[in-house]
Each structure stands twice: as C-alpha cells, then as structure tokens.
Amino acid sequence: MRRIRERHVNKLLTTILVAVLWPAAVSAQSAQEWNQIKGELAEALKTKGDAARGADAFVACQGCHRKDGSGRTSGAYPRLSGQHATVLMKQISDIRAGRRNNPKMEPYVEDHLAEPADIADIAVFLETLPISTENGKGPGVNLAPGKVIYDHDCAECHGANGEGSAEKFYPMVAAQHYRYLLRELRFIRDGDRGNSNPDMVKVIKSYRDAQLEALADYMAQMSPPARR
C-alpha cells in the first residue's frame, strides 16, 4: 500500500516529465537492447507467479479485457488470453516504467499491481486462459499480400504460425483482433508506441497503410497455436 501511495504522489510529476521528454525517451529506447532484462521485469521473471492470485487481480481488468481475457472484437482492447506470460510481464513493466505509451492502462497497472510478484501473478494467470477464435477479423480481401509480407518480414521473430516467442518476448499475434493489430502497427511505424523493437521499426517504417491493413488482416485470420 505504501508503494501505491508513493506512486500517486509522483503521478503528476511523471505525467509532466513524460510529456516533455517523450521524444528523447523513444530515442533512448531505440538505442538500447530492446529485450534487456532489468528493473521490475527482472524481478517479475524471478518469481514463479501464482495463477490463483492472478485471477483475483484480473477482476479489476475484466471491464475492458472481459472475464475470459478475450478483449474486444472492436480492437479497443487486445486479447490477453493465452499470451506468453513473459510478454505480458514485459509490456506491463514497460507501461509502469513509462517506456510504453498507454494512457488507458497506466491507472490500472499503477493502482492494482504493487509489486513485481503481482505482475507475474496476473501474467501467469492470463497465459493459462483458452485462446478465443472469435476475435475481430478484417475484411479478408487482401490475405495473399498480407501473407507475403508476414512470411518475408515477420515470421522470423513471431513464428511461422504467429506463435511468438516466450524466451525473446515476441508476442503471439495469431488470432489477435484486427483493429488492435492495425492500430499498434501504425503506432510502431509512426513512433507513437515508445517501447517498439528497433528492428521491427526498421522493417515497417516505410510500409503504407494498405500494407499494414493487409498484414493485420492476415495475422488476425491466423489460427491460434495448439496449447503448450
């Protein structure tokens, strides 16, 4: 509780600093190893994580991400169910540290997750949830060019079937909501996300919107991988 109160006291200052220093922060993130393990991420990874405690913590998130972690087919909120726990730990840690720009999530990760162990708990719980195949899909008219782009530029990191990599913090992209994927791809291309993988930025910075739409459409249509 003490840590939560301290975060509230510093919230206004943090907001001001982020507004002033955000461009520099983006450059700094690009200059360092993207998946470097440090800070709260390092502490969270050391803990085993308790899915039961994570289920209790996730109650505060269900209004947006739904009880089953499937998110919203509109793309307003991503599917979290079945995502690699390590990926979730990294993204939550990055939001809390100000590396990822996500104003909607900031109050929740600040108020409901007091310790790195809490991050591990909720991430481990979400990884156990079944992956919904009722995700938001795109128009489905440019899947062929989307596949060409994916196979050429994305499969090396995110896997041939969109399964991602728990070890390297690459998210599973198969069966994610189309509009969420498209929004995040645009954020990464345009430098608005903050914690983007520098290698990915180099790949997609020259993509036109039509190419991103085809890519997001293809990934949203991919079948989720079999449970591990």
* Residue 217 located in a structural domain: yes
DSSP label at residue 154: I
Q: Are residues 77 and 12 in the same domain?
A: yes
- Least Cα distance to 133 among 218, 44, 222 occurs for 222
Six-digit token pair at 118?
Answer: 């809490």
Domain carrying residue 6: 2-17+29-128
* Of 75, 223, 213, nearest in space to 146 by CA: 213
Both 85 and 191 in one domain: the answer is no
- Nearest CA to 100 out of 163, 34, 162 is that of 34
Give the total number of structural domains in the chain.
2
Supply the pLDDT for residue 26: 44
Decide if 54 is inside a domain: yes
Q: What is the pLDDT of residue 201?
A: 95
What values do phi and psi take at 165, rounded to 5?
-145, 115
Helix axes 116-128, 85-97, angle to 10 degrees: 140
Task: Examine the domain organization and report whether 8 and 67 are in the same domain.
Answer: yes
pLDDT at position 21? 43
Asked if residue 7 belongs to a domain, the reply is yes
Instruction: Please give the Cα distance from 23 to 192 (Å, whole number).
Output: 9
- The answer to whether residue 84 is domain-embedded is yes
Q: pTM to 2 decimals? A: 0.86
Q: Which helix (H) or strand (E) holds 92?
A: helix 85-97
The distance in angstroms from the start CA to the end CA of the chain is 36
Assess contact for 121 and 50: CB atoms under 8 A. Answer: yes
| Whether 123 and 92 share a structural domain | yes
What is the reported pLDDT for 7?
52
Does residue 77 sit in helix, strand or coil? coil
Residue-level pLDDT at 24: 42
pLDDT in tens, the chain (228 residues): 445 445 544 444 444 334 444 444 444 445 456 778 999 999 999 998 999 999 999 999 999 999 999 999 999 999 999 999 999 999 999 999 999 999 999 999 988 898 999 999 999 999 999 999 899 999 999 999 999 999 999 999 999 999 999 999 999 999 999 999 999 999 999 999 999 999 999 999 999 999 999 999 999 999 998 865
Burial of 117 (0-12, 13-18, 19+ CB in 10 A): middle
* Structural contact between residues 158 and 171, judged by C-beta atoms closer than 8 angstroms: yes
